Amino acid sequence: MSDNTAQPLLRVRDLVVEIPTRRGLLRPVNGVSFDVERGEILGVVGESGAGKSITGAAIIGLLDSPSRIASGEVWLDGERIDNLDNEGLRKVRGRQIGTIFQDPLTSLNPLLPIGDQLAETAMVHLSISRAEARERALAALVEVGIPAAAQRIDAYAHEFSGGMRQRVVIALALIAEPRFVIADEPTTALDVSVQAQILSLLRSLCVKRNTGVMLITHDMGVIAETTDRVAVLYAGRLAEIGPTRDVVESPGHPYSRGLMAATPSPSELADKDLRLNQIPGSMPGLLDVPAGCAFHPRCEFVKDRCRNAVPTSYPSGNSHSACFLHDAEALS
Amino acid sequence: MSNGALVQISDLTKTFDISSPWLERVIERKPRQYLTAVEEVSFDIERGTTYALVGESGSGKSTIARMLVGLMKPTRGSVHVDGVNPDSASAEDVLKFRRQIQMIFQDPYASMNPRWRVSEIVAEPIVTLGLLSGRDAVVRRVGELLEQVGLSARDAGRFPHEFSGGQRQRICIARALASNPEFIVCDEPTSALDVSVQAQVLNLMRDLQRDLKLTYLFITHDLAVVRYMADQIGVLYLGRLVESAARDRLFSAPSHPYTQMLLDAAPRLDGFGRQHQSDSSEIPDPINRPSGCHFHPRCSRAKSNCAVESPQTQTAGASRVACFYPS
């Protein structure tokens, strides 16, 4: 494990995930590339079926059979991790990559006190004694803001409220001090006042430890407030990637443009007669992804070229968009 | 009656008995336990407008919806829709009530029978209420309804699983419109949908309101959606209506501290790197609600009397707020 700070913490290159089915080969992730730097929060946004969660699962080797990584590479800190065997992956999961899922109740063992779960993770990954591990577990619970942590360390998951449970899950993801965390819709199951708490906790902990985070969500507001950069996925492909502010305020790809305009915002004073921008149609199913640019049937700027060729990534402002609108050669 | 309130809700209260079985109560000497899901909620909905109920989980939003459409009987208080109270009305009036009031549910996957064709689903209210006679008339009406919600009459022969989430919600809307209702209760109608599809459904609902002069009760936890849909907004917290005001007033000058907290916590598209003021408190257990004002343990303005007395609702113009120290 080299500690080369010149290269990004996580590097994903041309990742393709395939699922062989009786009706044909599905590609829920089709050539996705991105980097995550240390201490950076990369938001991954898209509608259901865009391939957000499968990208996350592929990175930590949690794809369910028969889906598999067909091609592409995943590098963590200069080490390739997409071709590791089960034993190698086990050392990466938890120790180097922490994960936070949507539903905190299914991420915790209902039959084991939360302190034991935390301590077990610390013992396995950090090779420390039981007593030390318990001390770390307590420190972790204090850090994520569990009130009266010393008394509640032996409580079970069901004794906590939803927000407190998600705090425990965050403690569990971070206890082995991973360099990278994948948070898959971590606040979707929570109420809005609790969501704000959990996101600011996640952000402050990761900034403090210089941990890279991949935050998967469908909520553009969460993206705008929490992330440094954002990747917009559509039908398994990267539509646009760039600094969050640029993508939200001046999106380059027609799909991100439509997505921003369709998002109602509580801060803007809407006229009662003002209509939300709507993108016609809906995301194609994996069995019938259109040829060329997958967005072309819903796109208002569609040209002949879009129906035949898949656009590669072109610079658009500070971002990169996979859209022929930004192909400088064709424009000149 | 051309204008005025179509729906009147007064002192609506619902208490659930959640006691253990009597044998356990006798042996373990447990007292009876009650959960007050809705407590003394009153509001009116003007004809042709949208009233939005906003609140987090456990606030009693859906319980109010159920009582409104007559799926649940209130413990106390009453519901009047166009002057008819479903609990004391004659059988004939109840039928009229049911025709006038329809509901759209959150989950478009669970709210339709998967073995029925779309034609049967949409025709059911027409057939059950005997609104049209003759098969051809019903078929024609179903086709009209489907076109009204942006589907095609050809879709009538298909099954629900052949449609996407947004299209299914359109079918649910068509079914709700089938009995020519005046009033539609929408319980989180777009929470299960993606953003771009949500925009389509919200726009459709607003167009239908304008064209058919519908009155909506719109239930949601999403303040951004409320801003696009509502004329009047009620904020619920643990069963009580803490604030009720016109939309622009509520967003520009919220007076209850809970409303202010909700508005601050809602994520915004323009909130880059914004810090929220919220602490680490959460919604208390609805079975053991805090004394006095239920919000006092989380409130920054709470004084000693907030823990003892429950604040009365104060009226100022069209706005009402239940707080001792409103801003």
In terms of CA atoms, which chain B residue is nearest residue A193? Answer: B265
pLDDT attached to residue B107: 86
pLDDT attached to residue A5: 54
Give which of A212, A206, A233 is closest to A33, Cα–Cα.
Answer: A233
B98 close to A (CB below 8 A): no
B308 close to A (CB below 8 A): no
Q: Which range scores top for mean pLDDT: B15-19, B114-118, B276-280, B281-285?
A: B114-118
In terms of CA atoms, which chain B residue is nearest residue A167? Answer: B280
Tell which of A177, A196, A214 closes a domain: A177
Mean pLDDT of B115-122: 95
Our CA angle for B111, B113, B116, nearest 5°, is: 140
Measured between beta carbons, which residues in chain B are less than 8 angstroms from residue A264?
199, 202, 224-225, 227-228
Cβ–Cβ under 8 Å, residues B174 and A27: no
Q: Which residues of chain A have pLDDT under 70?
A: 1-6, 266-274, 330-332
Are A84 and A186 in the same domain?
yes
- Confidence category of residue B206, pLDDT binned at 50, 70, 90: very high
Measured between beta carbons, which residues in chain A are less than 8 angstroms from residue B270?
224, 248, 265, 267-268
Instruction: Give the C-alpha separation, A262 to B228, whole Å.
Output: 11
Residue B104 in this model has a pLDDT that exceeds 70: yes
Strand B34-46 with B50-54, pairing: unpaired
The token duo for B63 is 């319980």
Are A127 and A257 in the same domain?
no
Are A160 and A216 in the same domain?
no
Q: Give the number of other CB atoms < 10 A from CB of residue B304.
A: 9
pLDDT attached to residue A2: 47
Are A82 and A117 in the same domain?
no
The amino acid at B103: M
Are A84 and A182 in the same domain?
yes
**CATH number of the domain enclosing A8:** 3.40.50.300
In terms of CA atoms, which chain B residue is nearest residue A276? Answer: B199
In B278-297, the residues whose Cβ lies within 8 Å of chain A are 278-280, 282-283
Q: Using DSSP, state whether A230 is helix, strand or coil.
A: strand
By residue range, what is the domain housing residue A310? Answer: 4-96+178-268+276-331
B271 close to A (CB below 8 A): yes
Number of structural domains (chain A) is 2
Tell which of A154, A177, A200 closes a domain: A177
Cβ–Cβ under 8 Å, residues B287 and B33: yes
**How near does any CA of chain B get to the CA of A12, in Å?**
26
pLDDT attached to residue A270: 54
Q: Over the stretch B224-250, which tens digit does the pLDDT of each residue have?
A: 888 888 999 999 999 999 999 999 899
The token duo for A195 is 């969501």
The token duo for A200 is 């600011």
Handedness of CA A138, A140, A142, A144 (dihedral sign): negative
Instruction: Give the C-alpha separation, B189 to B168, whole Å.
Output: 11
Q: Over the stretch B141-183, which tens digit does the pLDDT of each residue have?
A: 999 999 999 999 999 999 999 898 889 999 999 999 999 999 9
Give which of B272, B108, B269 is closest to A259, Cα–Cα.
Answer: B269
**How near does any CA of chain B get to the CA of A126, in Å?**
30
Instruction: Give the C-alpha separation, B187 to B8, whole Å.
Output: 18
Instruction: Give the C-alpha separation, B73 to B239, whole Å.
Output: 16
Are A161 and A210 in the same domain?
no
Q: How many CA atoms lie within 13 A of B143 on its CB side?
A: 8
The pTM of this model reads: 0.87
DSSP annotation string for B242-289: EEEEEHHHHHHS--SHHHHHHHHHS--TT-TTPPP---S--PPPSTTP
Q: Do B223 and A258 touch (CB under 8 A)?
A: no
Strand A10-21 with A24-36, pairing: antiparallel
- Confidence category of residue B271, pLDDT binned at 50, 70, 90: confident
Are A42 and A143 in the same domain?
no
Are A225 and A322 in the same domain?
yes
Q: Closest partner residue to A266 among B196, B206, B224, by Cβ? A: B224
Are A158 and A242 in the same domain?
no
Tell which of A135, A162, A177 closes a domain: A177
Task: Compute chain A's Rg from CA coordinates.
Answer: 21
Q: How many helices and strands in chain A, by DSSP H and E?
A: 13, 12
Q: Closest partner residue to B200 among A161, A194, A278, by Cβ? A: A278
Residue B267 in this model has a pLDDT that exceeds 90: no
Are A214 and A310 in the same domain?
yes
Model ipTM value: 0.81
